[in-house]
Amino acid sequence: MKTRSEGEQSERDRMKQAMDALRNLPPERMISAMPVIVSYTATIGAVEHYKRGEEHVFIVRRMAGDRDSGYRWDSRPLNAHGVRDEFLSVMDWSGAYDFLTNTGTFSPLDDTITWPQFQRWQEFARLIAEHSRLARAMQEGDWKGECAEVLKALTGNYPNSLFRPEPYSPHEVESLERQKQHHPEIIPMLQESERHQEELRRSLLLWFRRPPGEACSIEWFPKRQEDADAIIPKLGRGGAMIEFLLPREALRPAFLIRPFCTLQAIAAAIYADYSNGVDYRTCEFCHKLFPVGAQKTKRFCNQSKCKNAAHSREVRKKRREQEAQLQRKVRRSAAGKRGRASLEGKKGK
């Protein structure tokens, strides 16, 4: 793994070289605006739930069944944007169980996830989607608080407090120490496993900044649906390539992202929206994310209860302002009367 200084240097050099190349780009090499597509096929097996003390724990199996009955799983294409919205709307552990059951492999890190870990990923994704908050923290140099921890995680170069490995229980620590004493040959394997898990965690967090190159490609797609229907059977033939089946003017390029687990799909959906200029904000009433659109100062989402709350707040605010203005007038009037009475009293003397 690169050190922090090496990572910062390589990022700076990479962007400088890319900007230099952009300045020297011939105008005929420009690609027109293209859609960003997230193609996610979930591998759905089985989810087990149990309680560890007061904590809810889920085990997401990549396959259902057992050795006797046979293993099975379901491959299901899912809308990544819908998966993200459903993920952020989960409110309790039972909702998390339903979500995990329907969306397949959650993370490349571990089959086990607790309800507090699930909530931590929700807050992480919510802050990433609300790009303006992170941008404000970075521009102001604010390296404290939750926004700072998210920014550290996105760089891949700084330690952060968000997703540290869960500590072992005293019983697990004791068992592990006994195994090391009796089988010292496993120590290098355990150390390698820890390094591998840390690299997986770092790679997963970087998905939320931008998907890795190996998961992205620019692909050709037919402009017309009738052309797409006609060439699908032909693409089943060995060696068939779409750019040789249709003329160039019948094709358009698209940026394709292929995630392999639920968290990657959520990250890709957030990235796709940001690429298309969609900005999100947290509703001040229901605390859910909503697309801001053209109204950059909008503070409430379009749900009727939230719009009603916004209207009620505005009415109360205006009422308070009117009452305060009336009180100021009353105070000024009373002060004027006292002043005139005092002046008349002095004249009488």
| pLDDT tens readout for residues 141-162 | 877 888 888 888 888 877 777 7
3 state DSSP class of 67 = coil
Q: What is the pLDDT of residue 168?
A: 60
Tokens 């229907």 sit on residue: 229
Q: Which residue has the higher pLDDT, 223 or 64?
A: 223
Give the confidence band of 295 by pLDDT, cuts at 50, 70, 90. low
Q: Which residue has the higher pLDDT, 318 or 137?
A: 137
CA torsion, ordered 94, 270, 12, 6, to nearest 10 deg: 20
Structure tokens at 293: 């659109």
The predicted model scores a pTM of 0.75
Q: Summarize pLDDT for 306-317 with one digit per residue, the tens.
A: 766 655 666 567
Give the tens place of pLDDT for each residue, 7-51. Answer: 555 777 877 777 777 677 676 566 777 889 999 999 888 899 999
Q: Confidence class of residue 56 from pLDDT cuts 50, 70 and 90? A: very high
What whole-number distance in Å separates Cα of residue 114 and Cα of residue 218? 37
What is the band of 6 on the pLDDT scale with cuts at 50, 70, 90? low
Are 127 and 133 contacting, i.e. CB atoms less than 8 angstroms apart? yes
Q: Rounded distance, CA 324 to CA 152, Å?
A: 46
Closest CA to 114 of 199, 201, 204, 50: 50
**Beta strands at 55-61 and 64-66: parallel, antiparallel or unpaired:** unpaired
Residue 101 has pLDDT above 70, yes or no: yes
Q: Pick the range with the lowest mean pLDDT from 212-216, 261-265, 280-284.
A: 280-284
* pLDDT at residue 73 tops 80: no
- Report the relative pairing of strands 36-38 and 251-257 from DSSP bridges: parallel
Q: Is 170 in contact with 118 (CB distance < 8 Å)?
A: no
In 3D space, the residue among 159, 141, 189, 205 whose CA is nearest the CA of residue 3 turns out to be: 159
Residue type at position 131: H
What average pLDDT is seen over the chain? Answer: 81
